[in-house]
Amino acid sequence: MQDNISPRLPGSGQTEEHSPPHARRPAWWQILWDKTGSYISVALGSIVGAVARFLVSVLCVSQFGDGFPWGTLFVNVTGSFAIGFYAAVTGPDGRLFVSARQRLFVMVGFCGGYTTFSAFSLETLRFVQSGKAQTALVYLVVSVVTWIASVWVGYALAARFNRL
């Protein structure tokens, strides 16, 4: 079962470890069972991630107002950090050995649901529409730089932790 997070990443090899062939079970049943389990893992992780994202944005609007999308920036930066750290720590050289389903729950479900590209796009468009092209550009550049920096920091920290 693929976890849809690039198999070129360290860790994807591990997702092939599941399901020793059950001799008496028909293959179609096994496939259906695996697929259903994967989708349930993704769905449950998505709920947790999306609700967390929603609560963060409610909190940010109540604290800082809605002049700048701090909530979206926060979830995208922390979500990038989390996926980088988790991918490395559960990878082939990682300290944690987890099931393919747990990786789906955390990486595709939780991190995927917690972060959002569509809200970021709309917020950038809204800055442009309200004549704040400069703010739009700042938001765009700051976002991309901090996303990539935080996934790298998460990954590097986990790699260091793995070597301890």
Partner 1 sequence: MDTINGVMWVALGSVLGGTARFWLSGFVARRVGETFPWGTMVVNVSGAFLLGVLAASAASRGIFAAVGPWQFAAIGILGTYTTVSSFSLQTLALARDGEMMRAAGNMVLSLSLCLLAVTGGFVAGSYILG
Rounded to a whole number of angstroms, the minimum distance from the CB of residue 83 to partner 1 is: 4
Quickly count: other Cβ atoms within 10 Å of residue 49's Cβ.
24
Comparison of 11 and 25: residue with beta carbon closer to partner 1:
11
Comparison of 29 and 141: residue with beta carbon closer to partner 1:
141
* Cα distance between residue 15 and residue 106, in whole Å: 13
Rounded to a whole number of angstroms, the minimum distance from the CB of residue 44 to partner 1 is: 9
Rounded to a whole number of angstroms, the minimum distance from the CB of residue 95 to partner 1 is: 19
**Are 138 and 73 a contacting pair, CB within 8 Å?**
no
Comparison of 89 and 151: residue with beta carbon closer to partner 1:
151
Angle at 30 between CA 28 and CA 34, to 5 degrees: 120
* Cα distance between residue 142 and residue 130, in whole Å: 19
Residues that bind partner 1 (CB under 8 A): 2, 4-9, 38-39, 42-43, 45-47, 49-51, 53-55, 57-58, 76, 79-80, 82-84, 87, 104, 107-109, 111-122, 124-126, 140, 144, 147-148, 150-152, 155
* Cα distance between residue 141 and residue 69, in whole Å: 14
Rounded to a whole number of angstroms, the minimum distance from the CB of residue 24 to partner 1 is: 29
* Cα distance between residue 86 and residue 49, in whole Å: 15
- Tokens for 107, please give them: 């990486």
Comparison of 7 and 13: residue with beta carbon closer to partner 1:
7
